């Protein structure tokens, strides 16, 4: 039987659920998920927050076991980021033995009218899967912890005209450090990343070899990510770091290269080639081809006549 999803929409509700007492600020909170909360939760459950959530886990055996279809074990110090309305499953496999698991939650209204609200989508790690968590060194962890302490201090003091600005500045500082640390993680895992780039190319080759495009059209970013069992945003970020191109750009490049071969090795019309490649409308194929080569398919064929 599928378990019901617990929906938590506000800072007040999450404090009430975890027995944390009245929140100091209506739109943001930082707390530790420790022994007390671990002992009070008796079974697995699914939950969805109407909040952004950033959790840092250090030697914390209490796990968020699933995020979508993937599992993740937080045995080492790591961070996970989730955006509003994502569904997670908590699996009470162990008891927490210390209070070393920090969580920051903030409501979208906190940033809605600020410059950060307009930039929040650039922090693509909010849409990574949990197995793509950020793993921290002790020094990096201390940097994040120091910022969390500053945020706590700001909303715990008497609120004045500077409080909102300083809370948002520190929140954005935390996010920007997270970008830096993710870049470090991509860099230190270059060999693994290149293996994934090769696997991605094989996914595209296999897609056309099995004629999936005839029924399903040109391959999508979501299809490729699913085939590699990673999230679309993580795949695009990884490819951009390794090759300078996004997933969509790689797909388009692959299709254009196949189109070039077809244009020179067959007498099929441009429209026929477009349909063979999975395009529903030949005009879209022509537009994509010209964008990638500065020539229309017909012009490209003529240059080799």
**Token reading at 165:** 């600005």
Q: What is the DSSP string of the chain?
A: -PPPEEEE-SHHHHHHHHT--S-SSSSEEEEE--HHHHHH--S-EEEEESSEEEEEESS--SEEEEETTEE----SSEEEEE-TT-EEEEE--S---SS-EEEEEE-GGGTTTSHHHHHGGG-GGGGS-GGGPEE--HHHHHHHHHHHHHHHHHHHSPP-TTHHHHHHHHHHHHHHHHHHHHHHHHHHTHHHHHHHHHHHHHHHHHHHHTTHHHHH-SPPHHHHHHHTTS-HHHHHHHHHHHHS--HHHHHHHHHHHHHHHHHHH----HHHHHHHHT-S-HHHHHHHHHHHHSS-HHHHHHTT-
Dist. CA 78–CA 54, nearest whole Å: 11
- pTM value > 0.85: no
SS3 readout for 17-55: HHCCCCCCCCCEEEEECCHHHHHHCCCCEEEEECCEEEE
Among the CATH numbers 1.20.1050.10, 1.10.10.60, 3.20.20.450, 3.90.400.10, which is that of 191-302?
A: 1.10.10.60
Regions of the chain with pLDDT less than 50: 1, 60-75, 94-95
The per-residue pLDDT for 293 is 96
CATH topology of domain 5-136: Jelly Rolls (2.60.120)
Nearest one of 88, 84, 48 to 67, comparing CA atoms: 88
Tell me how far apart the alpha carbons of residues 241 and 80 are, in angstroms, rounded to a whole number: 20
Contact 178, 123 (CB under 8 A): yes
Cα separation, 107 vs 112, in Å, equals 9
Q: What is the pLDDT of residue 32?
A: 85
Token readout for 23 is 């929140």
Domain range list for the chain: 5-136, 191-302
> What pLDDT, on a 0 to 100 scale, did the predictor assign at position 275?
96
pLDDT of residue 254: 97
**What integer pLDDT is reported at residue 160 of this predicted model?**
87
């Amino acid at each position: 039987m599928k378990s019901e999803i617990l929906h938590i929409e506000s800072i007040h509700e999450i404090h009430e659920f975890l027995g944390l007492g009245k929140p100091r600020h209506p739109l943001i909170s930082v707390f530790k998920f420790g022994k007390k909360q671990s002992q009070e939760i008796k079974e697995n459950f699914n939950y969805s927050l109407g909040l952004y959530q950033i959790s840092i886990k250090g030697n914390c055996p209490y796990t968020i076991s699933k995020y979508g279809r993937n599992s993740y074990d937080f045995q080492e110090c790591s961070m996970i980021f989730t955006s509003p309305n994502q569904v997670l499953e908590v699996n009470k496999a162990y008891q927490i033995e210390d209070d070393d698991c920090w969580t920051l939650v903030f409501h979208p209204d906190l940033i809605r009218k600020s410059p950060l609200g307009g930039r929040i989508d650039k922090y693509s790690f909010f849409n990574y899967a949990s197995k793509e968590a950020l793993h921290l060194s002790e020094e990096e962890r201390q940097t994040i912890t120091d910022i969390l302490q500053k945020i706590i201090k700001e909303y715990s003091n008497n609120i004045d005209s500077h409080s909102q600005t300083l809370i948002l500045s520190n929140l954005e500082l935390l996010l920007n450090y997270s970008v830096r640390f993710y870049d470090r993680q991509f860099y230190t895992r270059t060999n693994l990343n290149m293996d994934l780039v090769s696997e991605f190319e094989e996914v595209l080759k296999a897609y056309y070899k099995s004629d999936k495009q005839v029924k399903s059209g040109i391959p999508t970013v979501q299809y490729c990510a699913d085939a590699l069992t990673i999230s679309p945003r993580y795949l695009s970020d990884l490819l951009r770091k390794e090759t300078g191109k996004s997933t969509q750009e790689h797909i388009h490049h692959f299709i254009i290269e196949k189109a070039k071969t077809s244009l020179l090795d067959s007498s099929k019309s441009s429209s026929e080639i477009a349909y063979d490649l999975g395009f529903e409308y030949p005009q879209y194929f022509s537009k994509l081809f010209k964008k990638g080569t500065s020539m229309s398919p017909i012009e490209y064929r003529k240059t080799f006549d």
